[in-house]
Amino acid sequence: MKSKRKWLAIPGFLALAAAAATLSAYAGASSSEGNAPAQPVAFPHTLHAGGNLKMNCIYCHYSAGKSPDPGLPAVGTCMGCHTTVAIDKPEIKKLAGFWQRKEPVPWVRVHKLPEYVHFPHMRHVNAGVSCQECHGQIQNMAVVYQQNSLNMGWCINCHIGRSNPQFKARYDCATCHY
Amino acid sequence: MSAETEAAKPGVKRRDFLKVVGATTVATTAMGCSSERVEKLIPYLVSPDETVPGVSTYYSTTCRECSAGCGVVAETRDGRAIKLEGNPEHPLNRGALCAKGQSALQGLYNPDRYRTPMIRKNGRLVAATWDEALTLFRQKLTETRGAAANAVFINRHESGNFPSFLNTWLASQGMPAALSIDPDIDHAAIAANKQSYGVAWPRLNFSAARLIISFGADFLDGWGANVPQQLDFADARAKLETAPRLIYVGARRSLTGLNADHWINARPGSELAIVQMLGGSVTAQQASQASGVDVAALTELQREFAAARPAMVLAGGASPRGMELCLAANALNQSAGGGATIGSSSGINGFEGIDSPSQLRAVAQRMQAGAVPLLMTRGVNPAYTMPKSSGFAAAMAKVPFKVSFSSIPDETSALADLVLPDNHSLESWGDAEPVRGTLSLQQPVMDPIFDTRATADVLASLGTAGATYRDIMIGRFPGGATGLAAALPRGIASGSTSVLVPRVAPAPVVGQPGNGDFFLMVYPSPLLGTGDGANKPWLQELPDPVTKIAWQTVAEIHPSTAARLGVENGDHVTVETVAGRLTLPAYVYLGIRPDTVAVAAGRGHSEAAGRYARAGHNAFDLLPYSEDRSGATSYSFAKAKVTKDGGFSRLVTTEGSARQHGRGIGQAMTLAELAQPQAHESHGEYPGDASHEFLPGLRSPTANDAQGDLGDKGEESKEKGMYDPKHWSGMAKHRWAMTVDLARCTGCSACVTACYAENNIPTVGADWQGPKFMPDRTGFGANITRSREMAWLRLERYFEGGEDGSANFDTRFVPMLCQHCGNAPCEPVCPVYATYHAPDGLNVQVYNRCVGTRYCSNNCPYKVRYFNWFGYGEPARAQYAFPEPLNWQLNPDVTVRGKGVMEKCTFCVQRIRDAENRASLEKRGLEPDEFTTACAEACPSRAITFGDAADERWTVAKLAHDKRAYHVFEELNTFTAVVYLKKVNHPGAAATAAAATAPATSGGH
Amino acid sequence: MATIVRPVDEPRRPNIATADVQLPAVKDYEQVDREIIATLHPTTAWFIGLGVAIFFLIVGAAAWIYQIYAGLGVAGYNPPVMWGVYIITFVFWVGIGHAGTLISAILYLFRAGFRTTIYRCAEAMTVFAVMTAGLFPILHLGRPWKFFWLIPYPNWRYLWPQFKSPLVWDVFAILTYLTVSSTFLYIGLIPDIATLRDKEKNPVRKRIFSVLSLGWRNSDREWRHFARAYLFLAAFSTPLVLSVHSVVSFDFAMALTPGWHTTIFPPYFVAGAIFSGIGMVFTIIIPLRKWFGLKHYVTINHLDAAAKLCLFTSLVVGCAYMQEWFVAWYSGIEFEKEFFANRIWGQWWWASVILYTCNMVLPLTLFKQSWRRSPTWLFILSFFINLGMWFERFVIVVPSLSHEFEPWQWGGYMPTWVDFAILAGSFGWFSMWFLLFIKQLPVIAISEVKEIIPPKLRKQHDHGIDSASRHLGYEPATPGEAS
Amino acid sequence: MSGVIGAFRELDSTVEAIEALKKEKLGEVTVYSPTPRHEIEHAVDAPQSPVRRFTLIGGLLGATFGYWIAIWVSDYWPLVVGGKAVASWVPYTIFGFEVMVLFGALATVLGLFINSRVPRLTMTVGYDPRFSGGDYGVWVECPPEREVEAQSLLRKFGAVEVRSES
C-alpha cells in the first residue's frame, strides 16, 4: 500500500531534526573568528614580520617570552626607525602625530580571550609553540584577522595532544579558569 | 554573554587608559618617552628597565596607617598598586601586616578622595587649580605674618624627617612648631613609660615572661604597635610548655582579653586598686571593695603573681587616673619582671614625641577665644576625634582661615576654607624611624591618581628653595641619590632622625562623670581606630574581632543586664550621659561587666567624611570631656543611664551561633593533656587523623579513595587518568594543604582583609548595595543581615563555658575557609562540573561554568561557599562594589565574579599558577615554601601555613603530623586539606584542679 | 444545558475495584455526546476566571524579569538557606502532578472503575502541573540563561553535564514525565476529538479538530491498536510516576544536610505527592461537576472512592513523619537530634504545626463515610491538604538548611515579595492552561464513558450480551477492554 | 475502491451482520464503533496487535542509550567529583530507566500510528460522522457487481441506512 511508504518518512524527519540540532550546537563555536578590525595606524605585518624584513615577533611583542602578556611596542620603539625611515608615508605621519602628542596608539584588539581565561603567553612560547600556531600566518596578513576560533574546544584539542601531540599539556579546568 | 565578561578587569584598564600608566601600551609608552616619575621608581627586585607588562613589580615602602611605621612591599602591576604585603626584612613587622595596614590601598583608591584643591566660595568648598589655591595660601600666610606666632599647625604624628622639615618651614614663617598628634595612641601609657623606662614604648618581651597580667592594656587591639606585639605574643604562646599565662583585668574582655587564660572583671577605673594590692600597698579586701571582684579571686591572683617570675605587668590608661595606673603597673613590672620582660630599650621609636590630646583642647580654648588666626591640619581629624564636649569643632568656626592638607574629606577638612590635598603615603616620598637607628624608607609606588601634591613638596615650593622634598631627602641621605637608590630595594637603611620633644601637657581638665547606674566604656575600635579607618569598605565590612559586628555601632551589655532591661540582640537601648545620648541596638556580650555598657568608637561620621564613613553612630558624642594627669582623654569614667527603647534593628553581624554545641570545630587542650601521649581526642579510626599516616595528596583524588584506600597500587587504574601521580601531566604530584595553629591565632582578622585584597572579594554592606526596588531591608549592612557577606575566609569566634553568665569562659578563634576536601560533598551535586577536584588536590570552582543552582553550598558542611546575589562585580550596576577608582586595586590574576555565580576560597590558585610559571621559566621545580597564600603571608601571628603536603620538604607537611592536628568534622569523611592544630589553654592552678574533674576547656565531641 | 437526572438508585457501598461504579443516570451514547459537548461553551464566569489567572501570571512574570535583571538577591535567600520558595514550590507542583498519572494509569491497570470519569481531568492537571513545576528549577538558577548546560548536547567545550548530580537526574525525570503524561493525555483525547470533529458545525473549529484528531475514524483496526498502546502507556506510566518523585526526593536525600540525608525519602515523597495530587483533584473536580452539571458522571461514589485513596496516602505520610522522628532519636547523631528539635521548637514551629494538622489530623475525618461522601467537606479539606503539603516541603527545605553542621553559619529565612509574586504567578500559569483546556476539550472521556454504559441492543441476549455489558461467552481478547 | 456501508443502531445486530459478511466472504470488512467493544473485536477476529513489539524495541533502545550516554560522557572528560568513580553505574541506572520509559512510550505511540494508519490526511470513503456518535457502522469493500448482495445482507440484519460508496 502506498500509505506504507509515507510512514517510513518519519524516522527520516527525526534524523534530520537531530542532525540540525547537533549542527546548531556546534554553530555557536567560533564567535569572533575572522574578525579583522581597522587599526588607528594601518600597520603592515606583511612588511615587518614578513617581506624581506622578517623581523622577529619578539622584537615588538617583547614580553611574550617572559610574561603572560605579550606586550605591545612602545611608540618609542616604532620611532626608533621611523624618525628616519619612510617618514613621508601618511600612516607614518599618523604615528609621528601620536609620538608628538605623547599619546599611545589605541590599537584595536584582534585576539581576545574572555577575562575568565588565563592564557600565559610565556608558557606557550617557551614550550616551543610558534606564534603562528594560534595567531595564524600573521606575516602574510595585510590586515591582521583572527584565524582560529580560539574557543575552548580548540584549546583543548592541543592540550590533550589531539591536534599536535608534541604540545600536549595539563588539561584540568583550573589550568586556565580561576 | 556571560556575566564575567562585563565584570572584566581589563575593562577597568581600558577606561583608565590615559589616566595613569594603566594599560600595557601606555606603561610602555611612558617608559619609551622617559617620563621622569616612572624612571625614578626604584623597584624592589628588578630595575625599571626590566619591568614587564603583566608581571608584578614590587616596591618597598613604609606603612603610614599608624605611627609605628611598619615596612610594606607594594605589589604593582602595569603601574597600579594592587596589594600590600609586609616587608620581611623590616625589623618591626617582619613580613606581617595588619588589616589596617593592608587597607591603606583603599585610602589610596578611595572614591571620596579630594581630586583637586578646594577653595571655600560663598560657604561651599569648590574645586580649584593649584595655582589659585597656592596663591590664596601665600596671600593668607602674608596676611597672618603679624600674628604668625598664634597660628596652629596640627600634624598627624609621624617619625622620620618630615616633622623637623615641617617645623623648620613653620619657623621660617615665624610660626610655632606643629602639634604632633596621634589620636589612636594611649598617651597615659606613653607618659608613664617615659618616666619609668625613659622611652615612649619599650619592647614588650612576652617570651621572657611566665605570667602576663594586663590591666586593660589591649596590646592585640591597637594598644601600641599591633603587628610586632602580636608577633612576639604569638611566638611566646607557641612555646606551648613554657608559654606565659595571660590574665586580663578589665571591665570588658577585648580581643586581648579573649586571648587571656583568665579574666578578672574589675570595675572601670578600679584597676589601680588591684595593682596596688599586688604591690602590697592595699589589702585584697580594699581592692575587692573598689573593683567589685570577690576577694577569693584577688587573693588567688596575689598568690599566682607572687609565684610566677619573671612576670609582666601592663596597664592601659583610659581612666582619669590612667597615668597613675600605668606608673604603678610599670613599677610592679620592674619588680616582678626584673627588667627581663620589659627593658628600657626602645621598642617602637615611632611613638616618641607625640603631643598629648590635651594640647588640642588647649587649642580649642584659644580658638574659642579667637586667638588663632590660622589653623592648619594635616592627616588629623580633631573635629571628630575630640569629643563634642571638648568643643573643638565648634571653636573652629572662630578661626578666620583654616587650611587642611587632608587627602580624604573628613569633619575637619569640611570646615576648612582651603584644602590642599596631600598625596597618599603610597604616592609620596618620606621616611620613618620605626626603631632607633633604623630608617624605613617611603617611596611613591605609583603616579598620583588625582591632582594632588605631597604637602612636603608644597611647603618646599613655598619655602626658600624650590626643591622638591625628594631632593631634600636625597640631600640629607648618606650617599645621596646613589645611596638612596641602593637602599630603596630593601626599604630600610641605618640612620636616625632628630626626635621631637613633646611639649609639657597643660594642666588637666577633669570632667564630671555624671550619674547613672552604668559605667560607660568608649573604646577605640580595633579595626577603625578612632575613626580614620571608617572610610575604607574593607575595614567597615570586616567584623569586629570581638563583637563580630560590621557597619554598625552597638551598645554592648551583659546577658544579665539584658535580661533585667528586657532587651535582646538588636533591641534599641538609649545610652544617656551628661554629654549626650545615643539610641543604639543592643549587643548582648558575655565578656562585659553587668554594670558596664561599652560602645566602640570610630563610626558615625558626618556626610562630609564620605559614602562609607556615614555608617553607625559616633560614640564620642556620649563622652564628657576629661583628661588624666598626662593629658590623655579618658574613655572610661563616665556614668550612663541605659533604658530600653521601643525600636529594633537587625544586628549587622556575621555570627550565627556563638556556641559550638559540642561539635569540636575549634578544639583546645590543656598543657596537662599535651604532656600525656594521645591525650587529645583520639579518633584513631578516622583517616587523616594526626595519629595516622597523613598523606592528603595521594589519598584523596583517586576514585577508590572514597573508601580511604590509598589507591596508588602501582598499576595504572583506568579510573585515575590525570589523577594518577604517574600521569604524564604530573598534575597529581602535589597536594596543596594548609595548617592553622589555633595556639597562635589571636583572631585579629588580618587574614580576612588580605583575602579580600588578593581575591577581589566585593564588600556588600554599603547602604546602596541591597535590592533597589521595594527592598525589605535597607541601610548599611542590609545584605549582611541576610548573611550575604562574601568573606572567603571568615574568623569564627566560639565561646566555651560561661553559659551561666560567669566571667569564666574560654574563646576559640577558628579561621574557617574552604577545606578543599578530598571527598568534597559539594562536587558530586554540581550538575555542570562547575566544581570538581583538581589532581593537585584543589577543590576548584569554575566561575564561568557555574549556573548558580547553589546546591554545592547546601551540601557544604563547612558553609564556606558564597554566592553573588547581585552584580557586585559589574560596573554598570547599583550594587557595584568597586566604584572608581577602587576598581584599580582589583587583582588582574583573579576573575571578578559576576552576578549569579558561586565563589569560594581557591587556596590562592593564581599564586600557585604564578609560582609554577616562574619555576618553568627558570627550568626548575617548585622549591619548598617558595610561596604562600595571601592569608598566610599577612598573618601577624604566623598561625597559617600553606604548602604541598605531598612533599615532605614543605613545612606544612611536617606540621600536618603535629600531635595537636585534627580535622573539622572528620567524622564526615571529607578528607579535608586544612589541618587545625588545637589551641593550648593555660588554666591556673585552681582551674586545673577543676578541669581534672570536668574537661571544660577541651570542647571536643 | 442538559437536564440533570439525580442518581437515585445508586448502590450505597460500591466496590471501587470493579465496574460497579455505574452511571445509572446516563442512558445512551447520544446523551453522553450531548451533555459533555454542552460543557464546551465559554461563559462569562469562565472569561473572568481566565482573566484573573492571566493577571497573576503577568505579576509572576514581571517579578521574574526583575529578578533576572537585578539578581537573585531580590528574593529572600538568606545563607545558609540557599534554596527557598522556588524549590519548595517546584516539589509542590511535581507532587500535584502525580495524582493524575496515578488515577489514569495505575488505577487503569488495577481496573478501578471509578477512574473513568475523573481521569481526564486528573491527567490534564498532571500535564499542566508538571509544566508549572518544570519552570522552577530554571527560575531559581543564578544564571537562568545558562540552564541548557544541564542538558546533554554535543558542544564545542567538550564539556557535558555531570551525570552524578541529582539535578541532572531531575532534568531527565521531569522531561520524561512531561513527555509521557502529555502523550498519554493526547492519545486518550484522539477519539473524543474525532467525536467533536464530527459534531462541530463551525468550519474553522472543524478544521482544527480534524487536524488534532489525526483523521481518527473509530474503525475496529484503530480501536485494536489503541487499546494496546493505551495499555502499554499505562504500564510505563506506573513505574514512571513512582520514579519521578523518588528522583525529586534524591535532590534532598543525596545531600549530607541533617533532615535531608535519609533513606525513607523516596517512598515518603511519592506517598506525599499522591496525597497532595488527590487533594488538588478534589479542588478541581468538585466545583467542575457542579458548574458543568456533571454530577451524574462524577457521582458521590467516585468521590467516596477517591477519598479512601486520599485517606490511605495520608496515613502513609503520617507514618513517614513519625519514622523520621524515630530515626533521628534512634541514630543518636547530635546533628540529627539537634535539627529535629529545632524543627519542632525552633523558629518555624508553626510551619510544623500546620503541616502535621493538615496532613495527619484533618484527613482522619475521612474514616467516617458521611464525611467522605460530602463534596463540601472534601472541597474544604482539599485546601488544607494543598496548604499542608506546601508547608511539608517548606519544613523539609528551610529548617534543615538553616541549622546545619556549622553553628557559626546558622541563619534564618524570610521570603520577599518577589518570592510570593512568582509563587502566585505559578498558580496563574497553571490555572490559565487548565481553564483553556476545559473549554476547548472534554473534561470527561467521552469514548471511555460510552464503554461503561450499556449499549443499545435489539433483543435480549441469545448472543450472549447482557445489559450490564459483561460478556458471558468468552474472556476479552485484551484485558484493557474490560471495565 | 468501492463498497457498501451500513449504519446500525444496536450492537448485537452489528455483530451479527459482521459475522454474516465474513461468512459470505464479500470482501474486507471495516467496523466503526463509538467505543471499543470486544464483541465486535471478537466478531472481526483480527490478529494480535503488533504494537507491543514497538514498545519492546523502544524500551530496550532507551535503556541502552540511557546507560551509554551517561557512561560515555563521564569517561569523555574524566573529572573526579567527591572521590567517586568517574563512571559509576549505580546512579546511571536512573538514566537507563528514565530514557527507557521515554523511548518506550514514544515507540508505542509510533506503533499505534503506523499500525492504525494515523495521521490520516484524507477522510477516505466509507465513513460517516455518526459513527463517532451513537451508531455502529460496517463497511464492506466489494466489487460493484456484488454490492446489491451486500446491501441486502446489511438490511437483513437491521441496518438503519445502507449505501454504496466509491
Report CA-CA distances (Å) from C28 to B654, C173, D39, D134: 73, 42, 18, 8
| Burial (CB count within 10 angstroms: exposed 0-12, middle 13-18, buried 19+), residue D22 | middle
Output the furthest CA–CA distance in chain A (Å, rounded): 87
Helix (H) or strand (E) run with residue C304 in it: helix C300-331
From the list B407, B424, B446, B440, the residue with the least C-alpha distance to B75 is B446
Phi, psi of B635 (to 5 degrees): -95, -25
B856 touches chain D (CB under 8 A): no
From the list B799, B810, B796, the residue with the least C-alpha distance to B752 is B796
- pLDDT (tens digit per residue) in C295-330: 888 888 888 889 999 999 999 999 999 998 888 888
**Best mutation site among C208, C222, C483 for testing chain D: the one with the most D CBs within 10 Å?**
C222
Q: How far apart are CA A23 and CA A19, in angstroms?
A: 6
pLDDT tens, position by position, for chain C (483 residues)?
A: 334 444 444 444 445 444 455 777 888 888 999 999 999 988 999 999 999 999 999 999 999 999 999 999 999 999 999 999 999 999 999 999 998 888 888 888 887 878 888 899 999 999 999 999 999 999 999 999 999 999 998 888 888 999 999 999 999 999 999 999 999 999 999 999 999 999 888 899 888 998 899 989 889 989 999 999 999 999 999 999 999 999 999 999 999 998 898 889 999 999 999 999 999 999 999 999 999 988 888 888 888 889 999 999 999 999 999 998 888 888 888 888 888 888 888 889 999 999 999 999 999 999 998 899 899 999 999 999 999 999 999 999 999 999 899 999 999 999 999 999 999 999 999 999 999 999 999 999 999 888 888 888 876 554 444 434 443 333 333 333 333
Contact A173 D113 (CB under 8 A): no
For residues B743 and B589, the answer to whether their CB atoms sit within 8 Å is no
* Shortest Cα distance, chain A CAs vs residue C153, angstroms: 7
Chain D partners within 8 Å of C239 (Cβ): 97, 101
Helix (H) or strand (E) run with residue B885 in it: none
Chain D partners within 8 Å of C30 (Cβ): 133-134
D61 touches chain C (CB under 8 A): no
Shortest CB distance from D117 goes to which of A3, A172, A173? A3
Q: Which three cell numbers stand for residue B105?
A: 590601598
pLDDT band at B78 (very low <50, low <70, confident <90, very high): confident
Q: Which residue of C has its CA nearest to D79?
A: C162
Shortest CB distance from B822 goes to which of D78, D79, D83? D83
Neighbour-count burial for B572-590, b at 16+ CB within 10 Å, e otherwise: bbbbbbbbbebbbbbbbbb
Shortest CB distance from B842 goes to which of A74, A75, A174? A174
Give the torsion through C-alpha atoms of A133, A134, A138, A142, to 10 deg. 140
Q: How far apart are CA D151 and CA D144, in angstroms?
A: 11
Phi, psi of B592 (to 5 degrees): -145, 150
* Shortest Cα distance, chain A CAs vs residue D32, angstroms: 20
Q: Which three cell numbers stand for residue C85?
A: 520558595
- SS3 track for chain D: CCEEEEEECCHHHHHHHHHHHHHHCCCEEEEECCCCCHHHHHHHCCCCCCHHHHHHHHHHHHHHHHHHHHHHHHHHCCCECCCCCCCCHHHHHHHHHHHHHHHHHHHHHHHHHHHCCCCCCCCCCCCCHHHHCCCEEEEEECCHHHHHHHHHHHHHCCCCEEEEEC
Contacts of A125 by beta carbon, 8 Å cutoff, 6+ apart:
A64, A65, A131
What is the end-to-end Cα distance of chain D in Å, rounded? 6
Neighbour-count burial for C286-296, b at 16+ CB within 10 Å, e otherwise: bebbeebebbb
* Shortest Cα distance, chain C CAs vs residue B415, angstroms: 39
Chain D partners within 8 Å of B702 (Cβ): 80, 83
Look-up of cell digits 583524588: B701
Chain A partners within 8 Å of C154 (Cβ): 22, 25-26
* Shortest Cα distance, chain B CAs vs residue C407, angstroms: 5
Asked if pLDDT for residue B51 goes beyond 80, the answer is no
Chain D partners within 8 Å of C248 (Cβ): none
Q: Which residue of C has its CA nearest to A149?
A: C156
Chains adjacent to B (≥3 CB pairs closer than 8 angstroms): A, C, D
* Shortest Cα distance, chain C CAs vs residue A90, angstroms: 44
Contact C256 B972 (CB under 8 A): yes
Q: Which residue of B has its CA nearest to C81?
A: B858
Residue ranges of C 318-337 with Cβ closer than 8 A to chain D: none
The mean pLDDT value of chain A amounts to 83
* Shortest Cα distance, chain B CAs vs residue C160, angstroms: 7
C458 touches chain D (CB under 8 A): yes
Contacts of B225 by beta carbon, 8 Å cutoff, 6+ apart:
B66, B68, B70, B92, B201, B347, B348, B350, B351
* Shortest Cα distance, chain D CAs vs residue B639, angstroms: 58
* Shortest Cα distance, chain B CAs vs residue C392, angstroms: 19
pLDDT value at position A7? 52
**Best mutation site among A7, A10, A22 for testing chain D: the one with the most D CBs within 10 Å?**
A7
* Shortest Cα distance, chain D CAs vs residue A156, angstroms: 11
Chain C partners within 8 Å of D77 (Cβ): 158-160
B719 touches chain D (CB under 8 A): yes
DSSP E strands in C260-312: the ranges are none
Q: How far apart are CA B558 and CA B590, in angstroms?
A: 6
Q: Which residue of B has its CA nearest to A74?
A: B29
Phi, psi of C254 (to 5 degrees): -80, -10
D94 touches chain B (CB under 8 A): no
Contacts of B212 by beta carbon, 8 Å cutoff, 6+ apart:
B206, B244, B245, B246, B247, B311, B312, B313, B314
Contacts of B142 by beta carbon, 8 Å cutoff, 6+ apart:
none
Look-up of cell digits 607625640: B354
Chain D partners within 8 Å of A5 (Cβ): none
Q: How far apart are CA C151 and CA C43, in angstroms?
A: 42
Contact B859 C255 (CB under 8 A): yes
Chain B partners within 8 Å of D80 (Cβ): 701-703, 723, 827, 836-837
Helix (H) or strand (E) run with residue B505 in it: none
Contact C405 B783 (CB under 8 A): no
Q: Give the DSSP letter string of C9-77.
A: S--SS--TTTTT---TT---HHHHHHHHHHTTS--HHHHHHHHHHHHHHHHHHHHHHHHHHH-GGGS--
**Best mutation site among C145, C148, C156 for testing chain A: the one with the most A CBs within 10 Å?**
C156
The mean pLDDT value of chain B amounts to 86
Q: How far apart are CA B397 and CA D97, in angstroms?
A: 83
Contact D83 B830 (CB under 8 A): no
Q: How far apart are CA A37 and CA A17, in angstroms?
A: 36
Asked if pLDDT for residue B712 goes beyond 80, the answer is no
pLDDT band at B823 (very low <50, low <70, confident <90, very high): confident
Shortest CB distance from D46 goes to which of C218, C220, C459? C220
pTM of the model: 0.90
Q: How far apart are CA B687 and CA B706, in angstroms?
A: 11
A115 touches chain D (CB under 8 A): no
Asked if pLDDT for residue B587 goes beyond 70, the answer is yes
Q: Which residue of C has its CA nearest to A22?
A: C154
A7 touches chain D (CB under 8 A): yes
Contact C158 A22 (CB under 8 A): no
For residues C114 and C305, the answer to whether their CB atoms sit within 8 Å is yes
CA B252 to chain centre: 20
* Shortest Cα distance, chain D CAs vs residue C150, angstroms: 13
For residues C400 and C339, the answer to whether their CB atoms sit within 8 Å is yes
Chain D partners within 8 Å of C199 (Cβ): 129, 132-133
Chain B partners within 8 Å of C166 (Cβ): 829, 855
Contact D80 B830 (CB under 8 A): no
On the CB side of A97, how many CA atoms lie within 13 Å of its CA? 11
Asked if pLDDT for residue B484 goes beyond 80, the answer is yes
From the list B517, B640, B513, B594, the residue with the least C-alpha distance to B293 is B594
What is the end-to-end Cα distance of chain A in Å, rounded? 64
Asked if pLDDT for residue B850 goes beyond 50, the answer is yes
Q: Which three cell numbers stand for residue B110?
A: 578611595
Chain A partners within 8 Å of B17 (Cβ): 104, 106
Asked if pLDDT for residue D77 goes beyond 50, the answer is yes
Look at A57-71, B62-76, B861-875 and tell me which has the smallest mean pLDDT.
A57-71
Q: Which three cell numbers stand for residue A120?
A: 600565559
Q: Which residue of D has its CA nearest to A3?
A: D117
| Burial (CB count within 10 angstroms: exposed 0-12, middle 13-18, buried 19+), residue B99 | buried
